[in-house]
Amino acid sequence: MDTQEIGYISKTHGLKGHVILRLNELVNIDENIKSIFLDLNGSQVPYFVEECRPNNAGYIIKLETIDVVDTSKKLIGKKAFALSDFILEEDESLKEFIGYAIIDSKLGNIGNIADVDEKTDNAIIKVIHPSGVEIILPFNDDFIVEIDDDLKTIEFNAPEGLIEMYLQ
Identify each DSSP E strand in 28-89 by its residue range: 28-29, 35-40, 43-55, 58-63, 79-83, 87-88
Write down the pLDDT at residue 89: 58
**Is the pTM higher than 0.85?**
no
pLDDT digits 0-9 by tens, 25-44 = 767 777 788 889 999 988 99
Domain ranges of the chain: 3-88, 96-166
CA 62, CA 73: separation in Å to the nearest integer?
13
pLDDT digits 0-9 by tens, 70-117 = 999 999 999 999 887 777 655 556 778 899 999 999 999 999 999 988
Distances (CA, A) of 86 to 6, 39, 82, 91, 166: 10, 18, 7, 15, 40
Write down the pLDDT at residue 62: 94
Write down the pLDDT at residue 152: 94
Write down the pLDDT at residue 92: 55
pLDDT digits 0-9 by tens, 143-154 = 999 999 899 999
Q: Which CATH class is domain 3-88?
A: mainly beta
Write down the pLDDT at residue 94: 76
pLDDT digits 0-9 by tens, 52-67 = 888 877 899 999 999 9
List the one residue out of 32, 20, 80, 24 whose CA is nearest residue 56: 20
Cβ contact 125:137 at 8 Å: yes
Q: What type of residue is 132?
A: G
Task: Return the CATH number of the domain spanning residue range 96-166.
Answer: 2.30.30.240
Determine the Cα angle at 15 with ends 12 and 6, to 5°.
25
Largest CA distance in the chain: 57
CA 43, CA 163: separation in Å to the nearest integer?
50
Residue 130, Cβ neighbours under 10 Å: how many?
A: 9
